[in-house]
Amino acid sequence: MVNNHFKDQLLDKFQKSHQIKLELFSDLKKINSFAILMYKTLKKGNKIIFCGNGGSASDAQHLSTEFLIRFDKKYNRKSLPAIALGLDVATLTACANDFSFKHVFSRPFESLAKKGDLLVCLSTSGNSENIVEVLKRSQKAKISCFSFLGNTGGKAKNYSDNFIIVPSKNTALIQETHMFLAHYIIEFVEKTLKNDKEKFK
Instruction: Supply the range of the domain harboring residue 67.
Output: 28-193
User: How many domains does one find in the chain?
Assistant: 1
The pLDDT assigned to 200 comes to 42
Q: Are strands 144-150 and 48-52 parallel, antiparallel or unpaired?
A: unpaired
pLDDT-flagged residues of the chain (< 50): 198-201
- Residue 54 is assigned to a structural domain of this protein: yes
CA dist 26 to 92, 161, 194, Å? 38, 19, 28
The pLDDT assigned to 2 comes to 73
- Residue 52 is assigned to a structural domain of this protein: yes
The pLDDT assigned to 75 comes to 76
Neighbours of 30 (CB within 10 A): 15
- Residue 90 is assigned to a structural domain of this protein: yes
Q: CATH number for the domain including 153?
A: 3.40.50.10490
Q: What is the model's pTM?
A: 0.92
Collapsing DSSP states into helix, strand and coil, what is residue 157? helix
- Residue 5 is assigned to a structural domain of this protein: no
- Residue 4 is assigned to a structural domain of this protein: no
- Those residues whose C-beta lies under 8 Å from the C-beta of residue 14, and which sit 6 or more positions away, are none
- Residue 19 is assigned to a structural domain of this protein: no
- Residue 198 is assigned to a structural domain of this protein: no
- Residue 64 is assigned to a structural domain of this protein: yes
The pLDDT assigned to 143 comes to 98
